Amino acid sequence: MAAPGEPGGEAACARRIDPEREPGLSPEQRRLMAQVERAQRHRALQRRLRGRNTLLALGIGAVAFGI
């Protein structure tokens, strides 16, 4: 399916922009991109820790129940 303005071609995919190599970005845009990436990493870390904490609690509960 072609995007409007691209006759017969595939729609362009999103690509990651490297703020260090992109010449047209202002310092404010670079700062915003860094802030968004930091927030995404923080959310991923929180999901991982929540899962680990749940497994740890189940493991401790199993040991306590076995005693």
Average pLDDT over every residue of 21-46: 88
Phi and psi (nearest 5°) for 5? 95, -10
Whether 13 shows a pLDDT value over 50: the answer reads: yes
pLDDT of residue 1: 45
Q: pTM for the whole thing?
A: 0.52
pLDDT at 23: 80
pLDDT > 90 fraction of the chain, expressed in percent and rounded: 36
Give the Cα separation of 30 and 28 in Å (integer): 5
* 67 pLDDT higher than 70: yes
DSSP 44-65: HHHHHHHHHHHHHHHHHHHHHH
Side chain identity at 22, as an amino acid letter?
E
